[in-house]
Amino acid sequence: MTRWLSLLLLLPATAVFGQEPPPPWTLGGSVLVQPLAEYAGGGAWSSSRLSYGSGTTLGLSFSAGSGRARVDASVETAVLTGSSAQLAWAVAASPYGRADELLVPGSASDGAQDAAVAARLRTLYTRLDMGWASLTAGRQVINYSRGTLWSPTDIFTELDLAGISPVRRGTDSLRVTVPLGVTSGLDVVAAPTLQPSDGRYSARLNGLVGDLDAAVVAGRDGALRSWLVGADVKTDLEVGLTGEAIYEQPDSGGWGWVRAAAGVDWSTGDFLFAAEYYYNGGGESADLLFPDTHNLSASVTWNASELLQLSLALIADLQRAAGTSTLTASISAAQGAKVTAFLQAGSGSAGYGIGYGVGGASWTAQAGLGVQVWF
């Protein structure tokens, strides 16, 4: 973590110095145990294509603060075996891997290690509320998302699709939020790197216009050497509607590209339906996980009872006829405990195929069980 970030994390200590009583704090977390079986297809049936894996994950979250200052942190560590470990190694070796998400032991250049201990710092930030504005510094999830899965104007947050459902990664950044009224505000974010010109920067203005929750955003992506401008809207009438689009103009000149998404969700009785379309005009350079032009997601969720929920979700690459489908059944076994059984099948590459193309399989299928307890 950069030196400026370490210094800014000291803000709460100076802000609350000398105040009594000591700032309140909370500590919580969860334990997830998830065994699974996986079959990697691509030819005739072979027992050698069948593998097993497991993951035991401990997540901890900490929060402390007093008055206008607050510190929040969340960490995660996991013991992975079999196909679960191989997936972690494959992600780490891909362009989507992050150097600060640690895997032990050592390097897995051949991608064949079947055991690993993983650790990552999800968030670590300090927040200072000054009334007229708030300042947040550190690793944080900057969520501008309107859609369920795709959000072109959410220019900071990355998705982790290695698990059953998407998880947002944190960004090391400095954020200033200024309320401009009851329903509007200005959000300015800087996520510099060791070379500031390679960082990402944005300003976003949001507000309520009639029944529309709307926003406009302008930004700079130093890594891609491009400028960005976009807008997004959300409304809830008889159905929920979302829409967003962003234009990216490269420094090299010429025409840039557009990425856009539109979604709808509605409910009837105990059923919730959702669908979303994503257009990626920038290819792999604009989106590593979903590099093709036309993409679609759809889901249906049935709240069968207060304790049981069934869900079917599909993510499809319309251009290559690739996709991933996931069927889950979740039972709230007790207060603070949940059991989830899942079946998942996928074909294609990147965000669509399970395992990020591990072993060169043309399709993969998984079945597993997850037991999670919160404390």
Domains for the chain: give ranges and CATH numbers.
26-125+331-375 (no CATH), 130-303 (2.40.160.10)
Q: State CA 31 to chain mean position distance.
A: 20
Q: Which two tokens stand for residue 79?
A: 């013991």
Q: How many CB atoms neighbour CB 76 within 10 A?
A: 19
Type of residue found at 311: S
Count CA atoms within 13 Å of residue 368 on its CB side: 24
* Residue 271 to residues 3, 291, 310, 311, 328, Cα–Cα distance (Å): 49, 32, 10, 10, 15
- Both structure tokens of 302: 């049935």
Q: What is the pLDDT along the chain (375 residues), one digit of tens a residue?
A: 433 333 333 334 434 444 455 558 999 999 999 999 998 877 778 888 899 999 999 999 999 998 899 999 999 999 999 888 888 887 787 777 777 788 887 444 444 578 889 898 999 999 999 989 999 999 998 888 888 888 899 888 777 766 656 677 889 999 999 999 888 999 999 999 989 999 999 999 999 988 899 999 999 999 889 999 999 999 988 899 999 999 999 999 889 999 999 999 999 999 999 999 999 999 888 888 888 899 999 999 999 999 999 999 999 988 887 888 999 999 998 889 999 999 998 886 544 444 344 344 578 889 999 999 999
